[in-house]
Amino acid sequence: MRFLLSLDEGTTSARAALYDAQGRRLALQSRPIACSYPQPGWVEQDALDIWNAQIEAARAVLAAHSVSASEVAAIGITNQRETTIVWDRATGQPVSPAIVWQCRRTAGFCADLAASSAAAAVTRKTGLVIDAYFSGSKLRWILDHVPGARSRALDGELLFGTVDSWLLWRLTNGASHSTDVSNASRTMLMDLASGEWDGDLLNLFDIPRAMLPRIIASSVEAGIAHASHLGAEIPICGIAGDQQAALFGQACVQPGLSKNTYGTGCFALMHTGARQPVSSHRLLATRAASFPSQPQFAIEGSIFIAGAAVQWLRDKLGLVPSAAATEAIASSVPDTGGVYFVPAFVGLGAPYWDASARGSLSGVTLATDTRHIVRATLESIAYQTRDLVQAMEADSGEPLRELRVDGGASANNCLMQFQADILGRPIVRPADTETTALGAAYLAGLAAGFFSSVSDVQAFWRAERTFEPLMNADRREELYAGWLRAVAQCRHHSAPPAC
Q: How far apart are CA 481 and CA 13, in angstroms?
A: 39
CB of residue 307 to ligand ADP, shortest distance in Å: 3
CB of 267 to ligand ADP, least distance (A): 9
* Least distance between ligand ADP and beta carbon 237 (Å): 25
Report the C-alpha gap between 446 and 250 in whole angstroms.
15
Residue 327 or residue 387: which is nearer to ligand ADP going by CB? Answer: 327
What stretches of 28-184 show up as alpha helix (H) in DSSP?
47-64, 107-115, 119-126, 135-145, 149-154, 163-171, 181-184
The CA-based diameter of the chain, rounded to the nearest angstrom, is 69
Concatenated DSSP letters for 389-422? HHHHHHHH------EEEESGGGG-HHHHHHHHHH
- Which of 12/39 has CB closer to ligand ADP? 12
**Which is nearer to ligand ADP, 363 or 408 (by Cβ)?**
408
Q: Site residues (CB under 6 A) for ligand ADP?
A: 10, 12, 263-264, 307-308, 310-311, 323-324, 326-327, 407-409, 411-412
Q: Can you list the pairs that 29-32 forms with residues at least 24 positions away whose Cβ atoms lie under 8 Å? A: 29/57, 29/58, 29/60, 29/61, 29/64, 30/57, 31/56, 31/57, 31/60
Beta carbon of residue 312, minimum distance to ligand ADP (angstroms, whole number): 9
- In degrees rounded to 5, what are phi and psi of residue 350? -65, 145
Rounded to whole angstroms, how far apart are CA atoms 169 and 181?
16
Helices (H), 3-76: 47-64
**Least Cβ distance, residue 385 to ligand ADP (angstroms):** 13
Report the residue number, 7 or 409, with the smaller CB distance to ligand ADP.
409
Question: Which residue is at the shortest CB distance from ligand ADP?
Answer: 408
Give CA–CA dist 108/41, Å, rounded: 12
CB of 262 to ligand ADP, least distance (A): 6
Nearest distance from C-beta of residue 242 to ligand ADP, angstroms: 9
- Rg (C-alpha) for the chain, rounded Å, is 22
Residue with smaller CB distance to ligand ADP, 265 or 351: 265
Closest CA to 435 of 466, 405, 402, 403: 405
Helix 473-490 / helix 413-423 crossing angle, nearest 10 deg? 100
CB 9, min distance to ligand ADP, A? 12
User: Which residue lies nearer to ligand ADP by CB, 352 or 418?
Assistant: 418
Q: Which amino acid is at 96?
A: S
Query: Is the Cβ of residue 21 or residue 323 nearer to ligand ADP in the bound state?
Result: 323
- Is 126 within 8 Å of 82 (Cβ atoms)? no
Close Cβ partners of 203 (under 8 Å, ≥ 6 residues apart): none
Task: Indicate the residue among 107 and 308 with the shorter CB distance to ligand ADP.
Answer: 308
Pairing of strands 3-9, 72-79: parallel
Choice between 274 and 324, CB closer to ligand ADP: 324
Minimum separation from the CB atom of position 231 to ligand ADP (A):
29
Identify which of residues 50 and 201 has a Cβ nearer to ligand ADP in the complex.
50
Q: How far is the CB of 382 from ligand ADP (least distance, A)?
A: 11
Please answer whether residues 71 and 1 qualify as being in contact, where contact means their C-beta atoms are separated by less than 8 angstroms. yes
Burial per residue of 366-380, b for 16 or more beta-carbon CB atoms within 10 angstroms, e otherwise = eebeebbbbbbbbbb
Spatial CA neighbour of 166 closest among 248, 243, 52? 52
Nearer to ligand ADP, 191 or 432 (CB): 432
Q: How far is the CB of 414 from ligand ADP (least distance, A)?
A: 8
Q: Which of 456, 457, 418 is nearest to 440 (CA)?
A: 457
Contact 384, 306 (CB under 8 A): yes
- At its nearest, how many Å lie between ligand ADP and the CB of residue 323? 4
Toward ligand ADP, which CB reaches closer, 172 or 326?
326
